[in-house]
A and B are shown apart, each in its own frame.
Chain A
Amino acid sequence: MRPLGLAARRAWPEAGLLRRRPSDQHGHARPRTTNETSPEGALELVVKIVTLAIAYFITARFGLSLASVSSVSAVWPATGVAVAGLLLLGVRAWPGIAIGGFLAGLPCCGAVAAAGVTVAQVSAPVAAAALLKAWDFDAALARLRDVLALVVLAGAASMVLSATIGTAVLAARGVVTGDDWPLAWSSWWIGDAMGTIVVTPLLLAVGTAARSRANLLRHRAEAVVLLVATVLATRLFFSGGLPLAFLIFPLGLWAALRLGLLGVTVVNALVTGVTVWATVHGYGPFAQMPPARTLVVLQSFNASVAITSLVLAAVTEERRRALEEVRASRARIVEAADAERRRVERNLHDGAQQRLVSVSLSLRLAEMQLGSSPNPELQTTLAEASKELQRALAELRELARGLHPALLTQQGLGAAVESLAEQAPLPVEVVAPPERYPVAIETTAYFVVCEALANVARYARASAVTVSVQHADGQLIVQVADDGIGGADPTSGSGLRGLADRVAALDGQLQISSPPGQGTRVRAELPCS
């Protein structure tokens, strides 16, 4: 049985060890900084200490109630509560650990032993919190480095302190003899480390990861199935004759991939709880081993399940955030490119086109001034130059329109699509409302229609085309359908691929249906609330 004890009184300058950021983008809870010299601050600190004391007391009594597989408890969830408490409430709440631990241990150990061991129970979580702070730990556990820090710095390293102090106190009290000391030390260390690896993430997930909670709620039916399956499977694998314990791993991976941190931590807690219960009651593959091995193997198994799924959850979250950033970055690139096209179009209009217009009028003026000149060659030269200039101006206007049509900016998608239809070499029926949409949506939709109509003119051998623009259910749906020969290959040529990339940059979808002989339909769905 694990004795509990009292903590040394010491002040700690920090209010909390959660990584603080000016703008938290992931919905993590952040501790409030408290001026504890004010009455409100002092009251808040008292509430935190009492809360932590109650939580520690309950979990310590629970830990004591578990049957032991050695001279100390195999599982010590109270340490997980202590570490999470210091991370969420601030290190100044440490007296809560001392009070809860001392009161829990008092009935079974006596005041002196309880006081001595409490030093161990307080110092290790405080050390863990300090190491995590130095590591720039984020309690959301959404990064691999945070999971590894929790496992290595808080779980493995810091708990050396509690195991060493705690077993030294027990040895001094004569509870542990020299021969038992290695087993007692390792049991203590493993119990505390497992509490940190299993319980702390669970509380941090509940306390900080708003996104994880939302994810779990969104998949609540799946979560219920997974949790029930976890309990049943763990119970089954630990009660049957076959050594199938490893089959629990897929459940942890399932939670990590689908349910996020909160799902993983709940599964880990269930697995640890059931396996410890089963082993203690003589069930499962580890129960038949010698006691010294049982603890090590059982908790190694539980640590493997917990660490694997925590790491996978963190990596999955990192990948999700990286993908989100890539998507946002791609959208920004497309928007920047569109803005640049608009700028070039304006510059062409305001600069080169105006100058060429002036040259055109000057040539016309020169032609008129030469009206009575006897030099017909010069007149011809001027007339040719004027015609060439008109062609250059027309090409420049075409180029500017291709960069970004002024009509789209000024009058919106409906008018721009109507204009495209009027310029098409075949009849185009347009159904497009006059509403305005966000610039990026209008531009992408326009270029979808533009490219699709150009393809119809080039390849489709169609007699008619229909263009429809529809805004429904938070989506702008743009469709171009012709009655041509079909058989278009979306993978050939860069035009459709470029369109698909452009649509995807806005989280939209581009579908191309072109069965041979049945026309082609290009359909873009763009999120547009």
Chain B
Amino acid sequence: MCDHPAVAVTVLIVDDHPGFRALARMVLEAEGYVVVGEAADGASALVAAATLKPEVVLVDIQLPDRDGFEVAWQLREHAAAPPQIVLISSRDACDYGQRLNTCGAQGFVCKGELSGNALAELLRGG
């Protein structure tokens, strides 16, 4: 069932909804990813990324302290080995316009369509 190409890819999930983080963790782990941490806002995401050094960071665009675009930009700018960043939202990509392409993120996945396969496809495409 789990035709995932990513084995032992480490992931940090950044979202302010604990319920979503828990489910996303279960889905990704069921498909072979290793979720190394969770963060509920942009500031703690930057700290967690620096500490845990995940290969992929899933960042919700609408965070309580700053938006996901800014987090993506800071992760790209300030990390020695920047992780691959995938933005997530319950809205559509077209609701965010060109900023998705210019913020330095690898791509975008609707939260409802999040799966290991979708993530792998996106990372391969990058």
When A358-B23, A411-B99, A415-B98 are in contact, do A368 and B112 touch as well, CB less than 8 Å?
no
The answer on a CB contact under 8 Å between A411 and B1 is: no
How far is it, in angstroms, between the C-alpha of A369 and the C-alpha of B1 when the chains are bound? 9
A374-431 contacts to B (CB < 8 Å): 389-390, 393-394, 397, 400-401, 405-407, 410-411, 415-416, 418-419, 422-423
B73 within 8 A of A: no
A361 within 8 A of B: yes
When A368-B30, A390-B112 are in contact, do A418 and B98 touch as well, CB less than 8 Å?
yes
The answer on a CB contact under 8 Å between B23 and A361 is: yes
Contacts of A411 in B (CB 8 A): 96-97, 99
Task: Pick from B27, B96, B98: contact of A364, CB below 8 A.
Answer: B27
Shortest distance from the beta carbon of A400 to any chain B beta carbon, whole Å? 7
Shortest distance from the beta carbon of B72 to any chain A beta carbon, whole Å? 15
Contacts of A410 in B (CB 8 A): 67, 96
Bitwise interface map of B from 61 to 98 toward A, beta carbon under 8 Å scored 1, else 0: 01000010000000000000000000000111011111
Task: Pick from B20, B31, B95, B115: contact of A358, CB below 8 A.
Answer: B20
Contacts of A423 in B (CB 8 A): 94
Shortest distance from the beta carbon of A375 to any chain B beta carbon, whole Å? 14
Contacts of A400 in B (CB 8 A): 91
The answer on a CB contact under 8 Å between A406 and B95 is: yes
Shortest distance from the beta carbon of B90 to any chain A beta carbon, whole Å? 4
A367 within 8 A of B: yes
Task: Pick from B31, B95, B113: contact of A401, CB below 8 A.
Answer: B95
How far is it, in angstroms, between the C-alpha of A411 and the C-alpha of B98 when the chains are bound? 10
How far is it, in angstroms, between the C-alpha of A422 and the C-alpha of B95 when the chains are bound? 11
Nearest residue, chain B, Cβ from A359: B112
Nearest residue, chain A, Cβ from B19: A358
Nearest residue, chain A, Cβ from B115: A364
Nearest residue, chain A, Cβ from B17: A354
Contact size range, B: 20 to 34
How far is it, in angstroms, between the C-alpha of A394 and the C-alpha of B90 when the chains are bound? 10
A357 within 8 A of B: yes
Shortest distance from the beta carbon of A116 to any chain B beta carbon, whole Å? 85
B23-62 contacts to A (CB < 8 Å): 23-24, 26-27, 30-31, 62
How far is it, in angstroms, between the C-alpha of A354 and the C-alpha of B23 when the chains are bound? 12
The answer on a CB contact under 8 Å between A405 and B19 is: no
The answer on a CB contact under 8 Å between B94 and A368 is: no
Task: Pick from A349, A360, A364: contact of B91, CB below 8 A.
Answer: A349
A356 within 8 A of B: yes
Contacts of A368 in B (CB 8 A): 1-2, 27, 30-31
Task: Pick from A349, A393, A415: contact of B112, CB below 8 A.
Answer: A393
Bitwise interface map of A from 342 to 361 toward B, beta carbon under 8 Å scored 1, else 0: 00000001000110111011
Shortest distance from the beta carbon of A359 to any chain B beta carbon, whole Å? 9
A297-344 contacts to B (CB < 8 Å): none
Task: Pick from A354, A365, A401, A405: contact of B26, CB below 8 A.
Answer: A365
Shortest distance from the beta carbon of B114 to any chain A beta carbon, whole Å? 7
The answer on a CB contact under 8 Å between B97 and A419 is: yes
Contacts of B27 in A (CB 8 A): 361, 364-365, 368
A362 within 8 A of B: yes
The answer on a CB contact under 8 Å between A357 and B20 is: yes
When A354-B20, A371-B1, A397-B92 are in contact, do A416 and B115 touch as well, CB less than 8 Å?
no
Contacts of B94 in A (CB 8 A): 401, 407, 419, 422-423
Shortest distance from the beta carbon of A395 to any chain B beta carbon, whole Å? 11
Nearest residue, chain A, Cβ from B2: A368
Contacts of A372 in B (CB 8 A): 1
Contacts of B30 in A (CB 8 A): 365, 368-369
Shortest distance from the beta carbon of A181 to any chain B beta carbon, whole Å? 89
B110 within 8 A of A: yes
Shortest distance from the beta carbon of B30 to any chain A beta carbon, whole Å? 5
Q: List 6 A-B contacts (CB under 8 A).
A: A358-B19, A361-B23, A405-B95, A407-B96, A407-B97, A410-B67
CB within 8 Å of B: which residues of A?
349, 353-354, 356-358, 360-362, 364-365, 367-369, 371-372, 389-390, 393-394, 397, 400-401, 405-407, 410-411, 415-416, 418-419, 422-423
Other A-B pairs beyond A353-B90, A365-B30, A401-B91, 18, CB < 8 Å? A349-B62, A353-B91, A354-B19, A354-B90, A356-B112, A358-B20, A361-B24, A361-B27, A368-B2, A389-B112, A397-B91, A401-B92, A401-B94, A411-B96, A415-B99, A419-B94, A419-B97, A422-B94
CB within 8 Å of A: which residues of B?
1-2, 17, 19-20, 23-24, 26-27, 30-31, 62, 67, 90-92, 94-99, 110-115
